[in-house]
Amino acid sequence: MRLLITGGAGFIGSNLARLALSRGHEVAIIDDLSTGYRHNVDGLNVEFIQASILDAAALAQAVDGVDAVTHLSALGSVPRSIANPVATHEANATGTLRVVEAVREAGSPHLVVASSSSVYGMNPAMPKSEREWIRAMSPYAVSKIAAEQYALAAQQSFGLETLAFRFFNVYGPRQMPGHVYAAVIPIFLDHLLRGEPLPVNGDGSNSRDFTYVGTVSSTLLDAAERRVVHPEPVNLAFGTNTSLLQLIDRIAEVSGARPEVEHREPRRGDVPHSQADNASLRTLFPNVEPVSLEQGLGETLAWFQQELPAIRAAGAR
């Protein structure tokens, strides 16, 4: 199989690329490196196209001859979307429509699109089922609603084989800290290793369904290999519910350290609690085996200790 990963130099994309290569697949990547990092794919036997998915010619070149597309390219982060909603919309909503059109014109390879648990927004239901109502709290969430619905509408309008996953707080190796829009686990681990207090937005009661990137990557690849199609979004998470304070306790257990905590003001647009109903995922992917939070944190911490210093020393991007 020849697999195209949009955003393949990013955190999830580069993990997926490694897994696909290890299973003997060909991999192509299109990434403009606006949020991805070239060091994530250095040394990998991939075709790399440095371009935006908004570049029609480059996208057509990337999609040509592929059997499957995993669309991960996006401008992530709720705060970033509040600061610049137009850029978020163009990358995530318009960008996904461009990918759908490129797939259609290329002979309709299988297409997986990444959405987000942020779409549930103000809905307080726990756990959150794909058939629950959605009410976005940020421009980022709105852009992800558009992305997933473009993918699903393409099934009905054009007969494309598509699948839309809603990701829930994916974490793991190659998720970079050190920038204003970094996710919570790399922020916490980075501060831990620097001996600095862990910054907590709010009182620490906010909770998330943390999902290890290895599990996400194996599910994404399985979807492409089996050309899995579903007419509704699918939560890609396993029904766990961990508060930020509980997460800090797990980090303390894994690291053997007891970090200090610095509470800050809550962030606008943040969903208070998130937990997936994974019945659809279990039906479509009965063999998936999630990695526990303790194991995932341990592997992530090991990567931070072993790999991140060299990346920073090289000034790589």
Q: Could you tell me the pLDDT band of residue 315, with boundaries at 50, 70 and 90?
A: low
Per-residue pLDDT at 23 exceeds 80 = yes
Residue written as token pair 């473009």: 150
Residue written as token pair 């619905």: 149
| 21 against 201, higher pLDDT | 21
Question: How far, in Å, are 37, 81, 292 from residue 301 at the CA level?
Answer: 19, 29, 14
CA 241 to chain centre: 18
Report how far residue 152's alpha carbon sits from residue 155's, in angstroms, rounded to the nearest whole number: 5
Beta bridge partners of 202: none
What is the DSSP secondary structure assignment for residue 120, as one 8-state letter?
G
155 contact partners, CB below 8 Å, separation of at least 6:
161, 162, 229, 231
Average pLDDT, the chain: 93
Residue 167 is inside which H or E element, if any? Answer: strand 162-167
Q: Could you tell me the pLDDT band of residue 158, with boundaries at 50, 70 and 90?
A: very high
Report how far residue 216's alpha carbon sits from residue 103's, in angstroms, rounded to the nearest whole number: 23
Per-residue pLDDT at 138 exceeds 70 = yes
| 203 against 105, higher pLDDT | 105
Q: What is the pLDDT of residue 176?
A: 86
Token duo for residue 314: 């090289």
Per-residue pLDDT at 114 exceeds 60 = yes
Residue 4 is inside which H or E element, if any? Answer: strand 2-6
Per-residue pLDDT at 10 exceeds 70 = yes
Pairing verdict, β 211-212 and 261-264: unpaired
Per-residue pLDDT at 76 exceeds 90 = no
Q: How many domains does the chain divide into?
A: 1
Q: Could you tell me the pLDDT band of residue 272, with boundaries at 50, 70 and 90?
A: confident
Q: What percent of the chain has pLDDT over 90?
A: 82
**Concatenated DSSP letters for 239-286?**
S--EEHHHHHHHHHHHHS----EEEEPPPTT--SB--B--HHHHHH-T
Render the burial of 157-167: b for 16+ CB within 10 Å, e for the rest: eeebbbbbbbb
Residue 184, phi-psi category: left (phi > 0), alpha (psi -120 to 50), beta (remainder): alpha
Per-residue pLDDT at 235 exceeds 70 = yes
In terms of average pLDDT, the best of 182-186, 194-198, 216-220 is 216-220
Residue written as token pair 């396993």: 238
Q: Could you tell me the pLDDT band of residue 244, with boundaries at 50, 70 and 90?
A: very high
Q: What is the pLDDT of residue 210?
A: 94
3-class DSSP assignment, residue 68: strand
Q: What is the pLDDT of residue 115?
A: 97
Q: What is the pLDDT of residue 306?
A: 87
Per-residue pLDDT at 181 exceeds 70 = no
Q: How many CB atoms lie within 10 A of CB 25?
A: 17
Active centre residues (catalytic): 140
Q: What is the pLDDT of residue 167?
A: 96
29 contact partners, CB below 8 Å, separation of at least 6:
4, 5, 6, 8, 9, 13, 17, 41, 46, 47, 48, 49
Could you list the residue range(s) of the whole structural domain that residue 301 is in? 2-314
Report the interhelical angle of 11-22 vs 213-226 (nearest 10°).
60
Contact 213, 172 (CB under 8 A): yes
Q: What is the pLDDT of residue 78?
A: 87
Token duo for residue 182: 């970094």
* Mean pLDDT, residues 202-221 taken together: 94
238 contact partners, CB below 8 Å, separation of at least 6:
209, 211, 215, 276, 278, 281, 290
Per-residue pLDDT at 289 exceeds 80 = yes
Among 202-206, 235-239, 246-250, whose mean pLDDT is lowest?
202-206
User: In this predicted model, what pLDDT tens digit does every residue of 77-101 receive, in sequence order?
Assistant: 888 999 999 999 999 999 999 999 9
Per-residue pLDDT at 314 exceeds 70 = no
Per-residue pLDDT at 53 exceeds 90 = yes
CATH of the domain at 297: 3.40.50.720
Q: Could you tell me the pLDDT band of residue 179, with boundaries at 50, 70 and 90?
A: low
